[in-house]
């Protein structure tokens, strides 16, 4: 059984910043922050880690209650933000997911820094939410490696059998996707559809580096 764990932003879709706009507006609405910071690093990080830094920037206590408060405000704003700031489903994504989900020897899941409901809202907006039955998410974890461990546990529960780590694949667009895959003993595929250069991704040493997901031949060859 092959396990394919996909990142979302920059790998499957581009939201054109709609997610962070909703997050900053959520901070404004929930905590009356007049000018929410836009200086927090976001690429390859978890929502929980990002919001910790946002709280710190504005002197807000980083508590579970405050995180839940911001998350609820974010979820309310995200659908409209996705609509008013149209993004794109990246090339080849739907065709690849269709191919993989038709195979009985492949299980498709998520390994994303997005909080779970936020991930589902984004994927549903682009019509691909139904392809993913399990995953690891950024609700509770500050570090991407911990999300990877959650995703691997979810994969084991989903397939209800022992997993060969040499058949676990993490697909993403950042060096962090590669490093978190390595942290769980998985193999890694990097795609040049995000904000990182070829040199940056090559330096992370993924098992495979692709321009995008349009040509499925190199991928399917790995799983045959």
Select from 186, 154, 188 the least CA-distant residue to 172. 188
Q: Phi/psi at 207 (nearest 5 deg)?
A: -70, -30
Residue for token pair 């492949």: 106
Position 222 scores a pLDDT of 82
- Structural domains counted in the chain: 2
- Using one digit for the tens of pLDDT, what is the confidence trace for 100-117? 999 999 999 999 999 999
Nearest to 117 by CA among 160, 171, 70: 70
| Whether residue 129 is found in the same domain as residue 150 | yes
Q: What is the pLDDT of residue 218?
A: 87
Q: What is the DSSP letter of 166?
A: G
Query: Are residue 70 and residue 173 in the same domain, yes or no?
Result: no
Q: Which of 84, 99, 114 is the last residue of a domain?
A: 84
Long-range contacts at 20-26 (CB < 8 A, ≥ 24 apart): 21/81, 21/85, 22/74, 22/77, 22/78, 22/80, 22/81, 22/82, 23/47, 23/50, 23/51, 23/54, 23/70, 23/74, 24/54, 25/73, 25/77, 25/81, 26/70, 26/71, 26/73, 26/74, 26/76, 26/77
Domain enclosing residue 161, as ranges: 2-15+88-222
Rounded Cα gap, residues 25 and 37, in angstroms? 10
The three-point CA angle 150-155-161 to 5° equals 130
| Residue 102 shares a structural domain with residue 29 | no
Residues 80 and 108 in one domain: no
CATH number at residue 198: 3.40.50.1000
The pLDDT score that the predictor gives to residue 216 is: 87
Same-domain status, 71 and 160:
no
Looking at residue 50, what is its pLDDT?
Answer: 97
List, in order, residues 6 or more apart from 150 with CB less than 8 Å away. Answer: 136, 137, 141
List average pLDDT for each run of 10 residues in the chain, which is 224 residues long: 97 97 97 92 94 96 98 98 96 97 96 98 98 97 98 97 95 98 98 98 98 91 80
């Amino acid at each position: 059984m092959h396990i394919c764990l996909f990142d979302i932003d920059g790998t499957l879709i581009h939201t054109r910043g709609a997610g962070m706009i909703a997050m900053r507006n959520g901070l404004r609405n929930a905590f009356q922050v007049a000018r929410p910071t836009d200086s927090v690093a976001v690429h390859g990080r978890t929502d929980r880690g990002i919001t910790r830094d946002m709280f710190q920037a504005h002197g807000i206590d980083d508590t579970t209650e405050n995180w839940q408060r911001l998350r609820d405000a974010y979820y309310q704003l995200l659908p409209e933000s996705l609509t008013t700031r149209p993004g794109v489903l990246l090339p080849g994504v739907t065709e690849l997911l269709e191919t993989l989900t038709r195979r009985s020897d492949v299980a498709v899941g998520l390994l994303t820094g997005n909080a779970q409901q936020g991930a589902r809202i984004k994927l549903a907006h682009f019509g691909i939410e139904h392809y993913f039955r399990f995953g690891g998410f950024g609700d509770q974890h500050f570090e991407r490696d911990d999300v990877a461990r959650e995703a691997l546990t979810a994969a084991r529960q989903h397939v209800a059998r022992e997993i060969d780590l040499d058949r676990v694949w993490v697909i993403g667009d950042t060096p962090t996707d590669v490093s978190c895959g390595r942290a769980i003993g998985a193999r890694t595929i990097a795609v040049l559809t995000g904000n990182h250069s070829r040199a940056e991704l090559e330096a992370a040493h993924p098992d495979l580096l692709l321009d995008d997901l349009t040509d499925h031949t190199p991928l399917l060859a790995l799983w045959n």
